[in-house]
Amino acid sequence: MGEYGRFLWQELLFPPACAVALAGLPIVARRSGRQVLLLALVIVAVFVLLLSYSVNFVRNLVPVVGLLLLVAAAGTVALVELLPYPKLHWLGLLFLATCMLWPQVTRTAWRVRYLRQPHTMVRAAEAVHSLPRGLRIAAEIPEQLFTVDPVVFSVDNVTSHSLDWYRSNGFRYLIVKDERQNDEERRMYHELQANSALVVNYPARRLGLEPGPGGSIVDLGIHPEALALIRHELYFNRGMSLLGYEMRPGQPRSRITSLGGAATRSLRRGESLQINLYWGASVRQTGDYTLVLHVLDAAGTRVAQRDLRLRHVDYPTSRWQPGELVVDSVDISLPVLGSGEYRVLLGLYHETPERALLVMGPPAAGEGPLVPLTTFRVEAR
């Protein structure tokens, strides 16, 4: 009941209207007792009904708003009629009406200015596109804002996972709201904040500066040692390098989901491969490189191939930052293969296969500029 009273006093009628209604109500009651009694019974009945609810919202007051405004209007007229000179009635009515409407006008003007500001989470969604986005991003933002973004994943609550989990699964940025529901969530939130770098901060909702919740974008940093993956380091010329991969059976994906460091090398006939590759670049790249994957059978015959620019959808190699870690999904569809061992080879080239990047270091058995990545076995079952 106290919250309803506060809402009526501070946000619905405001103090001037409440004061006029309370002052004029006794006068109205003396003149029109039955009508006032009927109004009072309806209003009291609504409040008694509201008190029976286990969960209350201020919108529950909608049925009595009109009645309360009617009481305020009647109180205003009753007070004005107390003035000794009829000619003052209009001035008195204008004065009281101005006192009651002024808070409403100023509040409406503030609300219009407030709603013209961009929503904090829309600003956060836009800011993500300007960040070095080689790794994944977890966001407490509706997924509709990221429907075609391969590395941004909408989550209900970032505190559902620990700092170690995010780092091992290749997450670098978190978009977090500052509205926490319980002590454990607040503890986890402060732990994530304390072990990350603040990228941008958004004002809390209570400050009334921008629509939407307060929050921030935080950078967990780049931690290759924490990644759950299969280490397979390859160093190419032009400063390109491969840190490792993760692989498991599955259909090609539209987003770069984590595979949890999977190292499954056994497939059933008809299954395809999901592969994540983790790349790095020691210098700024001037071109956009294409990755080629070949799958060879035991006789060296190519049975499947994939050629596609690295992170072609959103983050080609020309945008990579020196020292950044970049994950890309390079899923490959496979035909129905016979049982046996198969090799996966990879290579990089710029513009044409003749302009391939060369692997630095000891040569490895491959096919021209391609080098081995991994092997898998197709089971007969």
Q: What is the CATH number of domain 228-379?
A: 2.60.40.2550
Structural contact between residues 304 and 273, judged by C-beta atoms closer than 8 angstroms: no
* pLDDT value, residue 361: 55
Under 8 Å CB-to-CB from 89, ≥6 apart: which residues?
80, 81, 83
What's the CA gap between 189 and 203, in Å, rounded? 16
* pLDDT value, residue 334: 94
Structural contact between residues 324 and 281, judged by C-beta atoms closer than 8 angstroms: yes
* pLDDT value, residue 301: 95
Q: Which residue has the tokens 């904090």?
A: 120
Question: Model pTM?
Answer: 0.75
* pLDDT value, residue 281: 92
Q: In b/e form, how buried is each residue of 211-237, taking b as 16+ CB within 10 angstroms?
A: bbbbbbbbebebbeebbbbbebebebe
What's the CA gap between 92 and 86, in Å, rounded? 10
Under 8 Å CB-to-CB from 330, ≥6 apart: which residues?
275, 276, 277, 291, 293, 306, 308
Question: Can you say whether the dihedral through the CA atoms of 137, 138, 141, 147 is positive or negative?
Answer: positive
- Helix or strand or coil: residue 166? helix
* pLDDT value, residue 353: 61
Within the chain, all domains assigned CATH 2.60.40.2550 are found at 228-379
Per-residue pLDDT of the chain (381 residues; tens, 9 = 90+): 566 667 666 666 677 777 777 777 787 777 777 777 777 787 778 777 777 777 777 677 777 777 777 777 777 777 777 878 777 788 877 887 787 788 878 888 888 888 888 888 888 988 988 899 999 999 998 888 777 789 999 998 898 899 999 999 999 999 998 887 688 888 888 888 889 999 999 998 888 888 989 889 999 999 999 999 999 999 888 889 999 999 999 999 989 999 999 999 999 998 999 999 999 999 998 889 999 999 999 999 999 999 999 999 899 999 999 999 999 999 999 999 999 999 999 999 887 665 667 666 554 544 558 899 999 999 976
Under 8 Å CB-to-CB from 106, ≥6 apart: which residues?
none
* pLDDT value, residue 363: 47
What's the CA gap between 245 and 233, in Å, rounded? 9
| DSSP letter, residue 332 | B
Under 8 Å CB-to-CB from 77, ≥6 apart: which residues?
24, 93
